[in-house]
Structure 1
Amino acid sequence: MILRKYMAMLGVGSAQIDLILEKDTYRPGEIVKGNFIVKGGLIEQRLNRIDCDLMMCTEPNESKNEKLLDSITIYTTKVIESSTTNHIPFSFQLPHSVDSSCNPSYRFKSKLTFKQGIESVDHDAIYILEA
């Protein structure tokens, strides 16, 4: 049991997050809906928060050219039991002023933060059409 605890603290066998969206194409100002799927790892872990950032990237595959457009945070003290699946509703209103002049790509970067252990991160691309 102690070995599992330390493995989870290092990220091996810790809980994972996956953002599942209703669709992947949106217009500026539209509400994005979906669910966070949180899958328990080898041991139970106490979740502190879920962060979800809307990122814009002006060059493909270049994370250094990312820009944070907006963010939401869900604070919680939920315990994620080992080997369970939890569904947490997600809703996010896209900004009305989204720059499409430089042909950027957009993605949601979701992150679980635990009381102990490392963070779990998920990336989900979306397409934003011109208004």
Structure 2
Amino acid sequence: MWKKLLSKLGVGAAKVDLVLHHPRVRVGEQLKGEFLIEGGTVEQHIRKLEVELQLMVQADGKAYRRTVAVIPVSSSFTIQPGERKALPFSYVLPLHLPITRPRVRYAFVTRLDIADGVDAFDQDAIDILPPLPLEKLFHALGNIGFREKPSSGKITAYGQEFAFFPTKEWMGVVEEVEFSAQIEENGIRLYLEVDVRSGFGGFHETELKREIFFSNEEIENVEEMSGKLRAVIGEMIQQPRSYVGPSHVPYSSYPSQHVSHHHGGHGMMGAIGGFAAGMLAGMVAEELLEDVVEDALDDGIEDVMDDIGDWFDGGDDIL
């Protein structure tokens, strides 16, 4: 009787542990592991075992946590005192999730739903690596003298944005290179922004924007990608009037890009959903914006436009 009472309070209750074979995996690939369940001091009925993939984003002094997926593992069963069970686990990561960066983190949160007792939990961090085309693009940028910034990987209104700073030949001319990526069947599409220094002494910045597509054949050859990137950025610098545009405009304003607009729900978020469709982290960005709007509404209507405006002006990022 005493043991049963304690187990209801979580003392001597069943435990669960998710053991991942490889906690680092690329988007679109399968992650495998197993659940190790250990019975407590008394027999207990388990209603269900499930695991959530949770995304944690830190931005502007706030932490946002969103459940990306709920993965059912097992329905009801009974576990005896001291009994040990092992259940297999596998999950294919969605292709368009934001990848892990310093302020973008992931964890699997496992829940063992215990009837008439305190549920058992386990949390395991994972790293979501970039898809191979994006990783090769990072290497290509490195080949032509750019390095990824510590703040790279922020989630903007249009998806996940990566930022690189110049070294070598680009120093003094290029302030920063930023881009969002769309993974397509035939390659990878970039929405590229190059911030260049202009005016006497280079004290002014001009934002140059351009869409660029790398086919799967080009992606296979990192040297070819490097040469194309060098030529594209060089042309933008040499012909700035062809690529200059207002700050933080929708992607439909990029040269050669056509985007259909879909509306629904909140007007602004509906538009964002149209721009972000297919973008790396695009749908996650829209959901996080909903959180920002809800927070602002809770704080007062005066704060709503300030918070939403941070997405579209000089601080258009949520991360």
TM-score (norm 2): 0.38
| Alignment correspondent of 2:173 | none
| Alignment correspondent of 1:116 | 116
For 2:89 and 2:109, the matched residues in 1 are separated by 13
More strand by share: 1
For 1:63 and 1:39, the matched residues in 2 are separated by 36
Residues 52, 72 of structure 1: 8 Å contact kept: yes
Distance 1:101 1:127, change over 3 A: closer
Larger of the two Rg values belongs to structure: 2
Offset of 1:58 from its aligned partner?
1.2
1:54-69 equivalences under 5 Å are 54-59=53-58, 64-69=63-68
SS of residue paired to 2:7: helix
Number of residue pairs aligned between Structure 1 and Structure 2: 129
| Alignment correspondent of 1:125 | 125
1:1-131 equivalences under 5 Å are 2-59=1-58, 64-100=63-99, 103-131=103-131
TM-score (norm 1): 0.90
For 1:66 and 1:52, the matched residues in 2 are separated by 15
Residues 57, 63 of structure 1: 8 Å contact kept: no
Distance 1:113 1:93, change over 3 A: same
**Sequence identity (%):** 29
Offset of 1:100 from its aligned partner?
3.0
Q: 4+ runs of 1 displaced by more than 4 Å? A: none
Offset of 1:51 from its aligned partner?
1.4
Distance 1:86 1:101, change over 3 A: closer
For 1:63 and 1:86, the matched residues in 2 are separated by 39
Amino acid at match of 2:116: Q
Q: Deviations over 1:26-77 (max 9, x none)?
A: 00011111110001111110111011000011139x9952111111113423
Structure with the larger RCO, 1 or 2 (CA within 8 Å, 6+ apart): 1
More helix by share: 2
Cα RMSD for the two superposed structures: 2.1
Q: Name structure 2 gaps, 5 residues minimum.
A: 132-319
